[in-house]
Structure 1
Amino acid sequence: MIYILAAVFFLLLLIVGGDRGAVSLITLVGNMLVFLAAVVAMAARIHPILVTVAGSVAVNCITILYQNGTGKKSISALLSVGAVMLALLVFVFWIGGKMHIGGLNEIDMKSDLSLYYSFNIHVDMRMVCISMIIIGLLGAVMDSAVAISSSIYEVYDNNPDLGTKELFESGIAMGKDVMATTLNTLNFAYIGEALMLILYLRQYHYSLVSMLNAKAFLQDFACIVISAIGCILVIPVCAGITAKILKEQ
């Protein structure tokens, strides 16, 4: 069945997307290879954060520069993503430490499969969970940054007499629409993933407080919220950088 789903996906991507679909497919494969290499590197006991940062830079370049070219809008998006990721990196570390994320959650520990797990893998699972948050944040921020920089570029291309302030305000206005859509996308993605978990916790009579403090719930929830914060922050950052770069030609 997985082969049928993959075939339908690739076929639709090429039919609807055409040349751009082919480029998107190559980008997707490239990103998958990067993450596969990251897993191998982490298993080889290279520090997960170093691997994640290097992989994020590679994914950023592949997704933005290869897929969208090396024009000013791509450079603007690339710089915006880098700025927001650097700004939130310390925050992610702080949240990860305060929440004590990492390792098996309550449900995994109660599972019979946990009897077959080896706990001596010599990998810092807290760092791995922080890496997961960074990767989720990267995807959300890249999506918003590309949408905003492309929109501002189109506005400028049709109205080259607009000043930096007008372009920035246009970016903020369009960013609000992007923000609403992206936040809802993140919300639905989390609900779809966590629905069975929430039903499980309710079935075993977890109180609301216990549910909110359960590691099984908290780790995914933290990832979604931090990604949402990144989507909000990238709007003014990308609008400002794109407007500045376009007017400095």
Structure 2
Amino acid sequence: MNALVLLAAILLLLMMLIGGKKGVRSFLALFLNFSVVFITVIFMNDPNRNPVVLTLLAALVISCINLFYINKINIKTKTAFVSTILSLLFLLFFILIMTDTAAIHGFSDEEIQELSMFSLYIGVDFARVAASVIIMTTIGAITDTSIAISSPMKEICDQNPHMNRKDLFLSGMSIGRDILGTSTNTLFFAFFGGYLAMLIWFKDLPYSAGEFINSKVFSAEMITILSAGIGVTIVIPITSWITSYYLVRRKTR
């Protein structure tokens, strides 16, 4: 516990020195987001509640915290919020289809050995829980990308007041292409960093390359990463178009 408190204090101090008031709000947003996720998990224990609906509501609240609480309400956060919601709704159908088709829900054979002493009849739809996990993983990446595009587009528009909608849209796309590579690689390495022990364990198991790739644990994580990558990709043109539309419209008024 002392190490956690020390690391949190160091993080808070650095965010205060570098980010000022916005850094403090960003630090507090971490705990607010954790509270939202924790409350969502508690509500998921009720079999009468749909985990996907609960996760979408949580994603809505998390988006508000990450955009409006940290960066306040302005044209940048408004366009980023609309872009995030549209991208998430577009991605939702893909996520639901993938979780049902790929059958990644539930526990894998490797996990069953450790959970054999517990009862698995808990009355929760694991297919919907799997979709909820992917949605929760995706929302952070989408929100981060949308604000990373809308914010510089606002600055570009302020510095070039005579720029038309098409040129502003192309500027947003150019910014998005620079972000795309780093964002997808961040998701990829976050998986390997979090599941390094699992990969080492799989190496010691008598699995062929095909069995390793098609294992439920590995497939579920790769589908999560790919879904988040798709979300990051589609939010780029959506954010660029919405932001350019509203900025030029506001300028003409």
Matches within 5 A, 1:88-127: 88-111=91-114, 114-127=115-128
After superposition, the CA RMSD in angstroms is 1.3
CA–CA separation in structure 1 for the residues paired with 2:104 and 2:12: 36
How far apart, in 2, do the equivalents of 1:193 and 1:30 lie?
23
Matches within 5 A, 1:15-94: 15-45=17-47, 46-94=49-97
Matches within 5 A, 1:133-148: 133-148=134-149
For 1:163 and 1:73, the matched residues in 2 are separated by 18
What is the CA-CA distance between 1:8 and the residue it aligns to? 2.3
Please report the TM-score for the alignment, with normalisation by the length of structure 2: 0.94
Aligned length: 247
Q: Deviations over 1:63-88 (max 9, x none)?
A: 11121121111111011111111111
Q: Matched residues, percent identical?
A: 31
Post-superposition CA distance 1:137-176 (Å, at most 9, x none): 1111111101000111111011111000000000011110
Deviations 1:105-143 (A, max 9, x none): 1221123xx133221211111211110000111111111
Equivalent residues of 2:80, 2:143 under 8 A apart: yes
Letter in 1 for 2:71: N
C-alpha distance in structure 1 between counterparts of 2:148 and 2:183, whole Å: 11
State the distance in 1 between where 2:35 and 2:146 align.
23
In structure 1, the residue corresponding to 2:195 is in which secondary structure? helix
Q: Is 1:230 matched with 2:228? A: no
Does the 8 Å CA contact 2:108/2:217 hold for their aligned counterparts? yes
Residue identity opposite 1:3 in structure 2: V
> In structure 2, what is the equivalent of residue 220 of structure 1?
221
Q: Partner residue of 1:239?
A: 240
Please give the TM-score of this superposition, normalised by the length of structure 1. 0.95
Describe the shift of the 1:213–1:77 C-alpha distance in structure 2 as closer, same or farther (beyond 3 A).
Answer: same
Distance (whole Å) between structure 2 residues aligned to residue 79 and residue 246 of structure 1:
14
Q: Which amino acid aligns with 1:180?
A: G
- Structure 1 residue 196: Cα displacement: 2.0
CA distance, structure 2, for counterparts of residue 34 and residue 191 of structure 1: 26
**Which amino acid in structure 1 is aligned with residue 210 of structure 2?**
V
The aligned amino acid for 2:128 is: M
Tell me the amino acid that sits aligned with residue 22 of structure 1: V
Superposed displacement of residue 28, structure 1:
1.8
Aligned to 1:186: 187
